[in-house]
């Protein structure tokens, strides 16, 4: 099996092989062409068109308002920029919970209209029928357990999930069920590291964590957070690789100064 850099195109099969040989999977979010192009050329394995676009792109407080049409718009932009990474797209809130028929038609629209490679949806046993139906159409499904932001009004807070034994046991059962239903991978969000490690060890599909410690098969972060473009969100799990908020802010300020002082454009910058 070739290593990460030799892989021409990442497929669900490649991710499974990476887990088998212990190579960690790197996943980041993207919602637009320009960002996705930079991310893909860096060698990231999976690009997630997350419904976090609802917060990051549209400024909503939760992920609930984003629509299927909006997700398809973001996904199409990301797919056009991507030549290597696997592109996974979130089914937005309300596009799959009512029944499995609606789930399948939402997933088909995403695949057909954006050209994405797989979909992701939140939940365990309660979305069994939807997962199975989507899979019958040959569409790969990524699961998502732990903190599931589409259920924020049920939980009430964004705090760490599955700290109690009952919830932890249920999460392990759900992870096993998602594997049985046929999911190709699973995201675990904001749960204790020990529990996440246990899940990754007891199922054969890749487990990708966000706030789930280092014992899982890969990591995902929201790109705008890890680049430091957002500066109000500071969870413990977030590592910032840049402080783009500051850099961009000072670039904009310098531009304003240059315009006001008639320093921009200079002679070389005009026709
Ligand atoms: O929407 C999203 O960005 C996500 C990740 C946080 C996993 O689901």
For the stretch 146-195, pLDDT in tens is 999 999 999 999 999 999 999 999 999 999 999 999 999 999 999 999 99
For residue 190, give the DSSP letter.
S
Q: How confident is the model at residue 106 (pLDDT cuts 50, 70, 90)?
A: very high
The answer on pLDDT for 104 being more than 90 is yes
pLDDT of residue 46: 98
CA distance 49 to 185: 15
Using the atom order of ligand 1, give the atom closest to the CA of residue 52.
1
Longest pairwise C-alpha distance within the chain: 70
pTM tops 0.75: yes
- Looking at the chain, the whole-number percentage of residues with pLDDT higher than 90 is 96
Using the atom order of ligand 1, give the atom closest to the CA of residue 221.
6
pLDDT of residue 182: 98
Question: CB of 25 closer than 6 A to ligand 1?
Answer: no
- What Å distances lie between residue 227 and 24, 158, 192, 240, 244, CA to CA? 21, 21, 25, 6, 6
Count of beta carbons in the 10 Å neighbourhood of residue 210: 27
Here the tokens at position 95 are 């596009």
First and final CA of the chain: distance in angstroms? 55
Q: Average pLDDT of 202-221?
A: 98
Question: CB of 50 closer than 6 A to ligand 1?
Answer: yes
Q: How many residues can be counted in the chain?
A: 271
Sorted by sequence, the CB contacts under 8 Å of residue 179 that are 6+ apart come out as 186, 203, 204, 205
Question: CB of 187 closer than 6 A to ligand 1?
Answer: yes
Question: Domain segments of the chain: what residues?
Answer: 4-240, 244-271
Using DSSP's 3-state secondary structure scheme, residue 145 falls into strand
Q: Which of 39, 187, 188, 209 to mutate to test the pocket of ligand 1 (most atoms within 8 A of CB)?
A: 187
pLDDT of residue 231: 84
Here the tokens at position 147 are 């903190």
Cα atoms in the 13 Å half-sphere on the side-chain side of 236: 11
The answer on pLDDT for 3 being more than 70 is no
DSSP string over 24-39: PEEEEE--SHHHHHHH
pLDDT of residue 8: 87
Here the tokens at position 197 are 């490690």
Q: Average pLDDT of 227-255?
A: 96
CA distance 28 to 12: 16
Domain covering 4-240 in this structure, CATH number: 3.20.20.60
pLDDT of residue 4: 58
Nearest CA residue ID for atom 4, ligand 1: 50
């Amino acid at each position: 099996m070739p290593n990460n850099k030799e892989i021409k195109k990442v497929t669900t099969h490649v991710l499974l092989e990476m887990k088998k040989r212990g190579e960690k999977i790197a996943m980041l979010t993207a919602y637009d062409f320009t960002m996705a192009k930079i991310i893909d050329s860096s060698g990231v394995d999976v690009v997630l068109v997350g419904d976090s676009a609802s917060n990051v792109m549209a400024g909503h407080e939760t992920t609930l308002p984003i629509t299927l049409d909006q997700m398809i718009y973001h996904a199409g932009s990301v797919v056009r920029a991507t030549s290597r990474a696997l592109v996974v797209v979130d089914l937005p809130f309300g596009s799959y919970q009512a029944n499995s028929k609606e789930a399948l038609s939402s997933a088909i629209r995403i695949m057909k209209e954006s050209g994405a490679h797989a979909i992701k949806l939140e939940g365990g046993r309660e979305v069994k029928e939807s997962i199975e139906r989507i899979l019958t159409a040959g569409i790969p499904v990524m699961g998502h357990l732990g903190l599931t932001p589409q259920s924020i009004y049920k939980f009430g807070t964004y705090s760490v999930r599955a700290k109690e034994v009952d919830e932890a046991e249920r999460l392990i059962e759900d992870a096993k069920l998602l594997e049985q239903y046929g999911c190709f991978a699973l995201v675990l969000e904001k749960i204790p590291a020990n529990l996440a490690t246990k899940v990754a060890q007891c199922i054969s599909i890749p487990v990708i964590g966000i706030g789930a410690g280092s014992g899982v098969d890969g990591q995902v972060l929201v790109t705008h957070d890890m680049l430091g473009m957002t500066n109000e969100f500071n969870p413990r799990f977030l590592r910032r690789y840049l402080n783009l908020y500051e850099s961009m802010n000072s670039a904009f300020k310098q531009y304003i100064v240059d315009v006001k002082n008639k320093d921009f454009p200079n002679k070389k910058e005009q026709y």
